[in-house]
Structure 1
Amino acid sequence: MDVFAIRPASLHPAERVAEYRARGWWTDETINDLLQRQVEQQPDRLAIVDPPDKPDLLGTAANRWTWAELDSAVDRVAAALLRQGIRPGDLVGVQLPNSTELAVSYLALLRVGAVMSPLPVQYREYEIEMLARLTEFTAFITAGRIGDRDSAASVVTALASVPSVRRLFAFGGNLPNDVASLDVSAADSLDRADVARHLECFQANPNDCVTVCWTSGTESTPKAVPRSHYDWLAISWATIDGPELTSDDVILNPFPMVNMASIAGTLLPWLRLGATYVLHHPFTLPTFLRQIAEERVTYTLAPPAVLTMLLQSERLLAQADLTSLRAIASGSAPLAPWMVRGWQEDHGISVVNLFGSNEGICLLSAPADFADPEIRAQYFPRYGSAGERWAGRTSEQISLRLTDLVTGEDITEPGRPGELRIKGPMVFAGYLKGTTETSPFDEQGYLCTGDVFEIAGERGQYLHHVGRSKDLIIRGGMNIAPTEIESLLESHPDVAEAAVIGFPDAVLGQRMCAFVAPRTGCVLDADSLLEHLRGLNIASFKLPERFAFVRVLPRNPLGKIVKSPLRDMLDADDPSPAPHGI
């Protein structure tokens, strides 16, 4: 099964579980076991550090906790959830910035056996209500406020008409009457007793669904990606082995803990290794650099645009103390070879090239495999290529195919583009029904990624990313489905039709332009369309930076809109940004 009719307790079929357990790729281990191991082995060691600007963001104190203090806070929240009726299998939406409250929410829900669905803090009422209805959230956790937004009050409004939602929770003060208060103070004896009593009856199965993340793809409805302990823990080995992380590392996470990059890239390595976890939110470069210096950070993640900008700014680098930093992971957009070489040769910092997805794509170009930084920037390992060995245990677990985009036949020769298809213990089991009816797997059980690669290298040992097979827009690391924005624009009474495309941007990776055709006799302008979109309470990163007005949209002989002529019309020298905030 690869599209689930209901929220499942166990995700992967029995034959897959038996195969991967026999190979040693999956074990009895759960994510909560990782936490418990660190609490037992090093209770007094520093575990997690809040962002320094958290008091301004959430109105709660910034914490620096040992593993024992973290575990106590987890029991505190788990006990509160249990008393309010949260039970194993309940799907709980969570909208919090990177903070100890978010980390504790993850771990407390895991301890209870509930399923967490993390949402970006940019999401507003429109997205929250839509996702809650799609998967029937049982409860929701947020904060009284996030920045200048009354988050708890917004969630009450968004979820008032969603019948599945039974409980609302929030951290912080000044909460609406129907929102239960949570806090991350130390657990008392009653909290500990309530959790212990629950765990006497509940034992997690590593095949249990533990998270439901979201991927926009190019469809108007986001797709729900359920994952289990099995596949999360399998993919975490790649993000440990590639940058060669150890328990001595200090990991700084500036990426929102809502998807693969942050969860597999930082959260799970931290728990498995017992390293120190430093959180950052919202992204501000001065704070980011200050945390690296003050916390003696050894490893972090950063978008390519930030790494490029830093390398080009002698003033910023002269003021920054990066002497503790030995490696940075980057991805989501192609890495410039000169940039990767510059960090390595001028600063002694290795840039690790990552290519991943919520569904389980996991390609990683590590310094151990790619000593030449320019090769590392451009290519990924072609796992399974004859005569090649790659660092990291997941290289022996991943099976890859490239298939012709027209015929579907396997590609084995260099220079011919094909869709990447992948199989292994890190790949998810399938989408939740209601968010898509389309299977993401081919007849051989490989995940069809939608990403186009070519075989490269003198021995055919590399993969080179060519692009997406669809029109997904990735703006500042956030996926935007053009179809969704098009349908929202077409809900304006004066709009006949709309087509949305992305165009390159040096900082965000891509920006968005909406081509709009008005109804006969109507006149449109950018301000009125922006006001219409804002009135729908959508996330601000989905607002187009440009609008172009046309009489009709170009179509092929079958009547389908074709976007290539629209791309040709874009004038990249005049981005005409729409004024909107984050």
Structure 2
Amino acid sequence: MNQPITSPTLDTLFKRILARQPDALALVDPLNKQRITGQTRKRLTYAQTDRAISAIAAHFVESGLPANSVIAVQLPGTVEFALTVLAAHRVGLVVVPLPLLWRHAELTAALNRTAARAIVTSSRIDGVSHADLAMNAAAEAFSIRHVCGFGDDLPEGMASLDQAILQDSRTSRPIIQDGRKAALISFDVTSEGLRPVPRAHFSLIAGGLAMSLESDLVQGATIMSAFAPMSFAGLCASLVAWLLSGGTLVLHHPFDEEVLETQFNDHACDTLIAPAQLALRLDERGLSERFPTLRNVIGLWRAPEQVASSACWTSQRASLTDVYLFGEAGLFGARRSPEDGSPAPIKLGPQGAPREAPGASIAGEILLTPKGTLGLRGPMVPAAAYAPPPPGELMIAPPPRDFVDTEYAARADRATGAINITAPPSGIMTVGGYRFLAQDLQEWSRRLGQGGLLTALPDRLSGHKLAGRAQDNARARDALTELGLNPLMVEAFRDRTPAA
């Protein structure tokens, strides 16, 4: 009997590595995990990782989560994040990553929009009780049937996944591992508001390939990932890059420079994946001397319009690949020239590695839209998720569009053909990895009453920074916290008057 033709999933990639090197080191926790979550650090081989994945997957099955259910995950960059995502995929669940700064308002909206059946988190993350946040959000999401977490002192009603790992159940269910099946639903902020973006496994793998092919990531690499994992780019920059290389993933919870340097050198890492501004700052401070084993840096730009004006890369020992991020729509990479360290020119057309070679693997394609904005197409780009609604007056729907308009203003240089990204999407504010609509800031500002102001100011490193003013800043912070808003908005009203 012929087996059905399938494409690989993330679990398929993991099992291929497991079969080759079960005793090789697979996952390493952050050096300061005890401070972040109160849990002990883990160092897992591929065989140990496989047993933990199977035990968590068994817990999901025994909890009554049917295949194709949606499971929300809000976890830091620790071993548990990788175990949970792979366990969910092993039993056919779809993962919704929830950014760590999301609080009640965003969590509840995401759970209801995706009809999530379960949510996974940690007891505490950086001193915040995320277990309580999850329980409160789950209470307002009628689809949630199961709440579970890692760590001690979990609230009543929250199942412990640490205990599930210890019990080491072998319960499983037959699942055809097919890369065309749904794997991820992430959330983007567009001019129309919060938008769920579903992706199949092959789309995630294509995103990881766009990074690894352009940066020439070697097989068996020891990768330190210092990029928050709870997004499409975050998963590609950690889990997917690791599985494609078949090496070791050393996790770093952003950001403690001293901890990063110590852990990087302890494990003799050869690859660093981090926010590009952080990588450039390390370069200015003598990166080659401080990280003697470093050979490859992948720098991610949440504000891609800033790449062209960034500082030149000076390290002769390590290469830098700029990865341009466009929210949850897609990404592409360009490795800098070793001659002068300036950003590589971006050309229209297919993006592969190497781009000049005939028959090279195509990771994506760049185009200019008629509106003068940058468009993306290719296997990683979920065009249907961003498709505009059909005009109401037309009797026949227009043909489906095969690209996503990122809404970033761009133009082509007539002399060189290079693309210049000139401005971010209108009406969208980016603060680090978090995007807001300008109109949302105005709405929350109105709720503060007379004299209240909440605004976004340009910032060279993060795109924007939030600043607030109220007659009573402490009362404003309390009010925004009660509304369930994230800490970026709340802390915009911190007192800036220096102590006497």
TM above 0.5, yes or no, is: yes
- Tell me how far apart the structure 2 counterparts of residues 509 and 339 of structure 1 sit (CA, whole Å): 16
Say whether residues 1:455 and 2:412 are aligned partners: yes
The residue type paired with residue 289 of structure 1 is E
Paired residues of 1:218 and 1:481 also in contact (CA < 8 A): yes
Say whether residues 1:485 and 2:454 are aligned partners: no
Paired residues of 1:144 and 1:175 also in contact (CA < 8 A): yes
**Candidates 304, 318, 325, aligned match of 1:349:** 318
Mark the CA change 1:443 to 1:99 in structure 2 (over 3 Å): closer, same or farther.
same
What CA deviation, in whole Å up to 9, does each residue of 1:202-243 have, x standing for no partner?
323322211111112345x42111110121122222111111
Partner of 1:533: 480
Partner of 1:382: 348
Q: In the TM superposition, what is the alpha-carbon distance from 1:343 to its structure 2 partner?
A: 2.9
What CA deviation, in whole Å up to 9, does each residue of 1:275-331 have, x standing for no partner?
1100011411111111221111111123233234334446xx59x631111121222
**Candidates 430, 451, 472, aligned match of 2:428:** 472
- Tell me how far apart the structure 2 counterparts of residues 403 and 531 of structure 1 sit (CA, whole Å): 44
Mark the CA change 1:486 to 1:27 in structure 2 (over 3 Å): closer, same or farther.
farther
Q: In the TM superposition, what is the alpha-carbon distance from 1:266 to its structure 2 partner?
A: 2.7
Which piece of structure 1 moves more, 238-247 or 394-403?
394-403
- Tell me how far apart the structure 1 counterparts of residues 356 and 399 of structure 2 sit (CA, whole Å): 26
Partner of 2:395: none
Say whether residues 1:420 and 2:393 are aligned partners: no
Structure exhibiting the larger radius of gyration computed from Cα positions: 1
Mark the CA change 1:184 to 1:328 in structure 2 (over 3 Å): closer, same or farther.
farther
Say whether residues 1:278 and 2:257 are aligned partners: no
Mark the CA change 1:336 to 1:313 in structure 2 (over 3 Å): closer, same or farther.
farther
- Tell me how far apart the structure 1 counterparts of residues 76 and 210 of structure 2 sit (CA, whole Å): 25
Say whether residues 1:511 and 2:459 are aligned partners: no
Partner of 2:179: 206
Give secondary structure in 1 for the equivalent of 2:190.
coil
Mark the CA change 1:47 to 1:272 in structure 2 (over 3 Å): closer, same or farther.
same
Matching of residues 136-535 of structure 1 within 5 Å? 136-183=115-162, 191-192=169-170, 194-195=171-172, 198-199=173-174, 202-219=175-192, 221-313=193-285, 321-330=290-299, 331-333=301-303, 334-335=306-307, 339-344=311-316, 348-357=317-326, 359-367=328-336, 370-376=337-343, 379-384=345-350, 389-390=355-356, 396=362, 398-405=364-371, 418-431=372-385, 444-456=401-413, 458-460=415-417, 462-494=418-450, 500-505=455-460, 507-513=461-467, 524=471, 526-535=473-482
The residue type paired with residue 535 of structure 1 is E
- Tell me how far apart the structure 1 counterparts of residues 222 and 199 of structure 2 sit (CA, whole Å): 26
- Tell me how far apart the structure 1 counterparts of residues 382 and 187 of structure 2 sit (CA, whole Å): 13
Q: In the TM superposition, what is the alpha-carbon distance from 1:96 to its structure 2 partner?
A: 0.9
Q: In the TM superposition, what is the alpha-carbon distance from 1:458 to its structure 2 partner?
A: 4.0
- Tell me how far apart the structure 2 counterparts of residues 530 and 187 of structure 1 sit (CA, whole Å): 41
Paired residues of 2:369 and 2:405 also in contact (CA < 8 A): no
Sequence identity of aligned pairs in percent? 24
What CA deviation, in whole Å up to 9, does each residue of 1:401-451 have, x standing for no partner?
21343xxxxxxxxxxxx2112221121153399xx9689x99642211111
**Candidates 85, 89, 101, aligned match of 1:110:** 89
TM-score (norm 1): 0.75
List alignment gaps of at least 5 residues for structure 1. 1-25, 406-417, 517-522, 548-575
Mark the CA change 1:578 to 1:393 in structure 2 (over 3 Å): closer, same or farther.
farther
The residue type paired with residue 454 of structure 1 is R
- Tell me how far apart the structure 1 counterparts of residues 200 and 451 of structure 2 sit (CA, whole Å): 43
Give secondary structure in 1 for the equivalent of 2:68.
coil
- Tell me how far apart the structure 2 counterparts of residues 149 and 77 of structure 1 sit (CA, whole Å): 24
Q: In the TM superposition, what is the alpha-carbon distance from 1:125 to its structure 2 partner?
A: 1.9
Give secondary structure in 1 for the equivalent of 2:380.
coil
- Tell me how far apart the structure 2 counterparts of residues 294 and 391 of structure 1 sit (CA, whole Å): 38
Partner of 1:19: none
Give secondary structure in 2 for the equivalent of 1:32.
helix
Mark the CA change 1:84 to 1:397 in structure 2 (over 3 Å): closer, same or farther.
closer
Mark the CA change 1:112 to 1:373 in structure 2 (over 3 Å): closer, same or farther.
farther
Partner of 1:40: 19
Paired residues of 1:76 and 1:183 also in contact (CA < 8 A): no
Mark the CA change 1:512 to 1:66 in structure 2 (over 3 Å): closer, same or farther.
same
The residue type paired with residue 212 of structure 1 is I
Mark the CA change 1:395 to 1:455 in structure 2 (over 3 Å): closer, same or farther.
farther
Q: In the TM superposition, what is the alpha-carbon distance from 1:536 to its structure 2 partner?
A: 1.6
TM-score (norm 2): 0.87
Q: CA RMSD in A?
A: 3.3
- Tell me how far apart the structure 1 counterparts of residues 53 and 350 of structure 2 sit (CA, whole Å): 41
- Tell me how far apart the structure 1 counterparts of residues 362 and 55 of structure 2 sit (CA, whole Å): 41
Paired residues of 2:18 and 2:47 also in contact (CA < 8 A): yes
Mark the CA change 1:453 to 1:116 in structure 2 (over 3 Å): closer, same or farther.
same
List alignment gaps of at least 5 residues for structure 2. 392-397
- Tell me how far apart the structure 2 counterparts of residues 389 and 310 of structure 1 sit (CA, whole Å): 29
Mark the CA change 1:169 to 1:401 in structure 2 (over 3 Å): closer, same or farther.
same
Partner of 1:542: 489
Q: In the TM superposition, what is the alpha-carbon distance from 1:127 to its structure 2 partner?
A: 1.8
Paired residues of 2:226 and 2:273 also in contact (CA < 8 A): yes
The residue type paired with residue 447 of structure 2 is S
Q: In the TM superposition, what is the alpha-carbon distance from 1:27 to its structure 2 partner?
A: 5.6
